[in-house]
């Protein structure tokens, strides 16, 4: 019997459920996703880290349910979030004559989810896909909302499409196989929701940081559900990021500079976002919206969850050049997501470049 969804994401294209469960993926996954597979052909896409853990059971269960199942295993890591990986997915689909009523399943973290979503959006001009996120970051952020895409050497996530999944299944027990660094990286996106939407959620995270770091299943389920609820609320209002959804990029403009400059995969996405949120907070302070104590609190919370609070040293001119390629640039102007106060964010291009340069320069004094 299909479990009741934890919540529904409502979009203009279609509504879809998010399931949040504590039971093992291998036991319950197939029964959860079968009702959302409309055709008979299924392609499971995973990576060489996650596939050995969950792929065999998923494939066997789907085949037992009379689906024709193929698999595509990609290398693990942000460095492989590129057109070559997308072509590999296309190759398997075409080799096995997948039709327009097929379903792709993304089994893995945010990189896999983004690529599979983009492949689904573009194969035969759009086929179904299902998100089975296995990392904290992908469960609370990238698997929800329909943003899909790949990186380009000149910018992160610059090639992609909005394409909503048929359903999302988040299983807390996958964290048992998740490296501690990856779990910490996911917490950056959780903290982001508190900073941009709900100061009381930041209080809750501070109060429960020991249980969260110990991966208490019940606490994690509450945290994931609340994070998904925040994102679902914004996606329902602004599916294609024409307005309020841009707030979800708090810390990302600075963070994407770090990822692109350092090389994709050197800093995990969540690590770069964490350092980027510190820079965004500093910019908010520079413009007089929040004070030094607020910035210190943000740094302290990030440190509680083992996240970096200082970006690598990048020359301001290099950072500004990379920011110029950011998707949030409009009419040649860099737009930043800043904080009016903790729990309330806004988008602005109303600032002086020397203020931004001061923030970018703050971490270059260690350069040799």
Q: What secondary structure does DSSP assign to 151-183, as a single string?
A: EETTEEEEEEEE---S-EEEEGGGGGGS-HHHH
Query: What is the C-alpha to C-alpha distance for residues 290 and 288, in angstroms, rounded to an integer?
Result: 6
| Cβ contacts of 8 within 8 Å, gap of 6 or more | 15, 16, 17, 18, 232
Q: Are 86 and 72 in contact (CB under 8 A)?
A: no
Q: In 40-127, where do the E strands start and end?
A: 41-47, 68-74, 103-108
Burial grade of 257 (CB within 10 A; 0-12, 13-18, 19 or more): buried
Q: In 215-368, where do the E strands start and end?
A: 336-341, 344-348
Reference 77, options 129, 115, 123; nearest CA is: 115
Residues taking part in catalysis = 125, 147, 189, 231, 241, 245, 249, 252, 256, 269
Q: Read off the tokens for 105.
A: 């399943």
16 phi/psi in degrees, rounded to 5: -150, 155
Reference 280, options 206, 204, 201, 335; nearest CA is: 335
Helices (H) and strands (E) in the chain, counts: 14, 11
């Amino acid at each position: 019997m299909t479990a009741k969804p934890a919540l529904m994401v409502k979009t203009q294209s279609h509504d879809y459920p998010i399931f949040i469960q504590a039971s093992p993926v291998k036991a319950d996954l197939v029964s959860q996703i079968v009702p959302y597979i409309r055709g008979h052909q299924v392609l499971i896409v995973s990576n060489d880290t996650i596939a050995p853990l969950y792929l065999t059971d998923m494939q066997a269960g789907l085949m037992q349910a009379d689906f024709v199942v193929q698999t595509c295993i990609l290398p693990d890591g942000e460095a492989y979030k590129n057109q070559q990986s997308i072509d590999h997915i296309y190759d398997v689909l075409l080799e096995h004559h997948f039709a327009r009523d097929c379903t792709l399943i993304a089994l893995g973290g945010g990189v896999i989810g983004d690529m599979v979503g983009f492949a689904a959006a573009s194969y035969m001009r759009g086929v179904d896909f299902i998100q089975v996120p296995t990392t904290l970051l992908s469960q609370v952020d990238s698997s929800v909302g329909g943003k899909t895409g790949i990186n380009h050497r000149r910018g992160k996530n610059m090639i992609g499409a909005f394409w909503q999944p048929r359903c999302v299944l988040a299983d807390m027990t996958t964290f048992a196989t998740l490296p501690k660094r990856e779990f910490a990286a996911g917490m950056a996106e959780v903290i982001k929701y508190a900073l941009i939407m709900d100061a009381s959620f930041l209080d809750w995270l501070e109060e429960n940081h020991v249980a969260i770091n110990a991966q208490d299943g019940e606490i994690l389920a509450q945290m994931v559900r609340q994070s998904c609820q925040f994102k679902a609320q914004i996606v329902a209002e602004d599916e294609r990021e024409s307005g309020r959804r841009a707030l979800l990029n708090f810390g990302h403009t600075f963070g994407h500079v770090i990822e692109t400059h350092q090389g994709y995969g050197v800093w995990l996405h969540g690590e770069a976002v964490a350092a980027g949120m510190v820079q965004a907070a500093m910019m908010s302070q520079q413009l007089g919206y929040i004070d030094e104590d607020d910035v210190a609190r943000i740094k302290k919370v990030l440190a509680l969850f083992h996240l970096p609070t200082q970006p690598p040293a990048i020359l301001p001119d290099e950072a500004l050049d990379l920011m110029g390629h950011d998707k949030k640039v409009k009419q040649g102007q860099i737009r930043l997501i800043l904080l009016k106060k903790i729990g309330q964010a806004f988008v602005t291009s109303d600032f002086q470049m020397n203020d931004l340069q001061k923030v970018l320069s703050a971490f270059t004094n260690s350069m040799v």
